[in-house]
Amino acid sequence: MQSGDLQTSPRTVLVLGGARSGKSRFAEASAIESGLARHYIATGRAFDDEMRTRIAKHKEDRAGDGWTTHEEPLDLIGSITAANAADRVLLVDCLTLWITNLMMESHDIDAAGDALADMLGSVKGRLILVSNEVGLGIVPENRMAREFRDHAGRLHQKIAAKADEVYFIAAGLPLKMKG
């Protein structure tokens, strides 16, 4: 796809799935297929060795493959705005880590989600947002986990309502839900 094709292609895509479902791989392949300059906006923070290993694996997967990486745990809107250009695809991985970071810093998550949803129409190129669907399991046993699940669910609804396409990934297989 060339940047002139953006008039007919989806500008905003939401990719949901569980842990190790293949959602990041699907999103990265979609970004590559776009033919646009690829920018990866990573929201993860390396608080422990396991997370450092996951982040290193994600970086290794993209190494030498034409990606420009931006690491932004909190100011996701600012990072999207700064990288926003008609000839680019921006891949955000992932919204649930962003929610975690906002919760850890006592931000107003609902307001941040509203602001993110509201700015989607200003994206000039293509935006692919990846997030973990965490609301399909049992009710979490503690308050913070329940709040996290609820924040994620509300954010997903806001983004899905404004996205051009929404996919749910399970076992590496995409199910197109919208668009």
Q: What is the pTM of this model?
A: 0.91
List Cβ neighbours of 102 (8 Å cut-off, separation of 6 or more): 74, 109, 112
pLDDT in tens, 74-93: 999 999 999 999 999 999 99
Token digits for 139?
């009710």
Return the SS3 of 30: helix
- The answer to whether residues 84 and 124 touch, using CB atoms and an 8 Å cutoff, is yes
Cα–Cα distance between 55 and 107 in angstroms, integer? 24
Q: Which residues are identified as catalytic?
A: 58
**Higher-scoring residue by pLDDT: 133, 56:** 133
pLDDT in tens, 34-70: 999 999 999 988 888 988 888 888 778 777 778 999 9
Q: What's the confidence (pLDDT) of residue 9? A: 67
Cα–Cα distance between 170 and 132 in angstroms, integer? 11
